[in-house]
């Protein structure tokens, strides 16, 4: 955390979640890994069947407050993702009121 200059961010996040900053960073890294996994699925196929499956997964995972926070706010979230993927995910979230 210190190496990336985000120690304060994780200390703040830890207070919000009621955990220590190490656990907050671990949670965020796991969430970010899932986001990259979803990006990999999205970039590899745009067949309707695959997009429907991905939409279902996004709807399930993004209901988790910590996961949504990673997407919206984290330096590991949508800020570093492909613009078209961000539009896809945000569209799914908007259509499903998540």
Q: For the segment 35-77, what is each residue's pLDDT rounded down to a tens digit?
A: 999 999 999 999 999 999 999 999 999 998 789 989 999 988 9
**Global confidence as pTM:** 0.87
Is there a domain that residue 1 lies in?
Answer: no
What total number of domains does the chain contain? 1
Give the residue, 9 or 97, on which the prediction is more confident: 97
Range(s) of the domain holding residue 35: 28-95
Q: What is the pLDDT of residue 38?
A: 97
Q: What is the pLDDT of residue 8?
A: 86
Is there a domain that residue 4 lies in?
Answer: no
Residue with tokens 């990006």: 39
**Residue 5 — very low, low, confident or very high, per pLDDT cuts 50/70/90?**
confident
Is there a domain that residue 32 lies in?
Answer: yes
pLDDT exceeds cutoff 70 at 6: yes
């Amino acid at each position: 955390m210190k190496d990336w200059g985000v120690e304060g961010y994780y200390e703040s996040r830890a207070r919000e979640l009621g955990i220590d900053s190490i656990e907050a960073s671990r949670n965020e890294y796991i969430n970010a890994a899932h986001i990259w996994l979803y990006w990999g699925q999205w970039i590899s196929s745009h067949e309707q069947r695959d997009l429907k499956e991905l939409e279902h997964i996004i709807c399930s995972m993004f209901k988790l407050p910590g996961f949504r926070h990673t997407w919206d706010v984290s330096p590991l979230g949508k800020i570093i993702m492909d613009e078209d993927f961000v539009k896809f995910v945000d569209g799914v979230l908007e259509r499903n009121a998540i």
